[in-house]
């Protein structure tokens, strides 16, 4: 049976509230289907506006088989393009990031404007029509300082997501930020294990001593249920909303995206060892902030470099254990792992119908 039908059969027979069957985490053919049916079709968070500070600033990313370049043009708009030259397909930009007045392909120097138009292709036939060979665009949206792209030719409408998350993001003025520090790690495990790990804090007390100084492990903070009746969460949101910050937990009905404002423990104001102010998440600081004066880089980054490395080890151990022929799906904790249950339900509800479409014979019998 081919992977497509096999995957559909396992999704239809899966036990709700349990982790997925082994091939969802280990099988290269399932991974290809995940890429094709989820990663190449849905909106993906790629980076921040402030990583492209000026016209000509660009960053490159690789999404599965697709090299993509994001570049700020002369008008200040951020555009995304397939990073594949319209001559013979070479990558046009090969650095992770940089500045360029024009995008020049290194192979035969076809030269593109920052808005993707082909400006120059030397010694081509007189009949050559430059207007037909611009870089192929990729759908790109910027909201509250966050950049999202979608590789699909017919991307889902971005407007509802913008409407939900923009009010949460705008107060942080992230377009006025800069990246103080950046760290990239590779986790040797299927992407769904990384996601599952991220959706719960059941593992926090046993694995993240630094994070636990400021982050509450209460399931209402990371889960998707129960927060509406947790007096501490309600008090936190009321306080934030009184200060003009939209804060309550909101989730798209289909589970595609969500927004909330999570509290920290006691009087902590940041995810740092001492709980004092730094700048949270991807270590963005105000663009005028000076290292050593306005922030201490070690204090800023320690908790999350440690936490990310701890999570990398957790995910890799999870992946190794799942490879065992003795592995079978296990039950999630309803109290702590509501976010994981929601993620797996989201995954099944999106990939299932997409597996069933696509011109292939549908599954004949359902378990």
Residues that bind ligand FES (CB under 6 A): 85, 87-90, 105, 107-108, 110
49 binds Fe ion (CB under 5 A): no
- Find which of ligand FES, Fe ion, none residue 107 binds, CB within 5 to 8 Å per kind: ligand FES
Does residue 196 bind Fe ion (CB under 5 A)? no
Question: Of ligand FES, Fe ion, none, which one sits near residue 87, judging by CB under 5 to 8 A according to partner kind?
Answer: ligand FES
Burial of 91 (0-12, 13-18, 19+ CB in 10 A): middle
3-state secondary structure 72-116: ECCCCCEEEEECCCCCCCCCCCCCCEEECCCEECCCCCCEECCCC
CA separation for the pair 96, 184 (Å, rounded): 12
Q: How far is the CB of 169 from ligand FES (least distance, A)?
A: 37
* 130 vs 203 by CB, closer to Fe ion: 203
Q: Helix H segments across 124-252?
A: 159-169, 191-198, 204-207, 219-222, 231-242
337 near Fe ion, judged by CB under 5 A? no
Token pair of 339, please? 């976010």
Say if residue 24 is exposed, middle or buried (CB neighbours under 10 Å; 0-12, 13-18, 19+).
buried
d(CA 322, CA 224): 26
Q: How far is the CB of 120 from ligand FES (least distance, A)?
A: 10
By C-beta, is 45 or 107 nearer to ligand FES? 107
Work out whether 6 is an interface residue with Fe ion (CB under 5 A). no
Residue 311 touches which member of Fe ion, ligand FES, none, C-beta under 5-8 Å by kind:
Fe ion
Q: Which partner from the list ligand FES, Fe ion, none does 239 bind, CB cut-off 5 to 8 Å by kind?
A: none
What is the residue-wise DSSP string for 267-300? T--SSSSS------TTTEEETT--BTTTB-HHHH
Q: CB under 5 to 8 A by kind: which of ligand FES, Fe ion, none does 188 bind?
A: none
Query: Least Å distance between CB 93 and ligand FES?
Result: 11
What secondary structure letter does DSSP report for 20?
P
131/365 with CB nearer ligand FES: 131
Nearest distance in Å: CB 314, Fe ion: 6
Cα–Cα nearest to 71, from 108, 104, 38: 104
> Helix 191-198 vs helix 297-322: angle between axes, to the nearest 10 degrees?
120
Taking alpha carbons only, the member of 129, 138, 57 closest to residue 93 is 57
Residue nearer to ligand FES on the CB measure, 95 or 205 = 95
Q: Please list every residue from 295 through 314 that binds Fe ion, using CB under 5 A.
A: 311
Tell me the closest approach of the beta carbon of residue 208 to Fe ion, in angstroms: 6
Give whichever of 105 and 165 is closer to ligand FES, judged by the CB atom.
105
Give whichever of 92 and 151 is closer to ligand FES, judged by the CB atom.
92
Q: Which residues bind Fe ion (CB under 5 A)?
A: 311
């Amino acid at each position: 049976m081919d992977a497509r039908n096999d995957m559909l059969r396992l999704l239809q027979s899966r036990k709700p509230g349990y982790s997925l069957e082994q091939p969802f985490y280990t099988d290269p053919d399932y991974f290809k289907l995940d890429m094709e049916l989820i990663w190449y079709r849905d909106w993906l968070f790629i980076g921040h506006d402030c990583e492209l500070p000026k016209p000509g600033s660009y960053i490159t990313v690789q999404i599965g088989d697709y090299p993509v370049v994001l570049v700020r043009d002369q008008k200040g708009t951020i555009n995304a393009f397939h990073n594949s030259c319209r001559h013979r397909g070479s990558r046009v930009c090969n650095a992770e990031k940089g500045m360029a007045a024009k995008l020049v392909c290194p192979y035969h120097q076809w030269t593109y404007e920052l808005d993707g138009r082909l400006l120059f292709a030397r010694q081509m036939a007189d009949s050559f029509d430059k207007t037909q060979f611009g870089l192929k665009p990729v759908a790109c949206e910027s909201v509250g300082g966050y950049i999202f792209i979608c590789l699909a030719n017919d991307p889902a409408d971005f407007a509802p997501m913008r409407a939900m998350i923009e009010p949460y993001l705008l107060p942080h003025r992230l377009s006025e930020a800069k990246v103080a520090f950046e760290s990239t790690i590779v986790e040797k495990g299927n992407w769904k294990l990384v996601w599952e790990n991220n959706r719960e804090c059941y593992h926090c007390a046993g694995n993240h001593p630094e994070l636990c100084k400021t982050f509450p492990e209460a399931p209402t903070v990371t889960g998707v249920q129960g927060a509406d009746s947790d007096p501490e969460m309600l008090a936190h949101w009321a306080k934030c909303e009184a200060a003009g910050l939209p804060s309550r937990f909101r989730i798209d009905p289909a589970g595609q995206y969500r927004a909330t404002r999570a509290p920290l423990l006691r009087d902590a104001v940041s995810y740092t060892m001492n709980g004092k102010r730094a700048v949270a998440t991807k270590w963005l600081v105000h663009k005028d902030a000076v290292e050593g004066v306005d922030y201490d880089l070690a204090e800023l980054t320690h908790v999350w470099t440690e936490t990310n490395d701890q999570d990398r080890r957790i995910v890799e151990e999870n992946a190794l254990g799942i490879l065992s022929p003795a592995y079978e799906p296990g039950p999630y904790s309803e109290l702590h792992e509501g976010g994981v249950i929601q993620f797996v339900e989201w995954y099944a509800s999106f990939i299932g119908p997409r597996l069933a479409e696509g011109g292939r014979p549908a599954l004949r019998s359902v378990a």
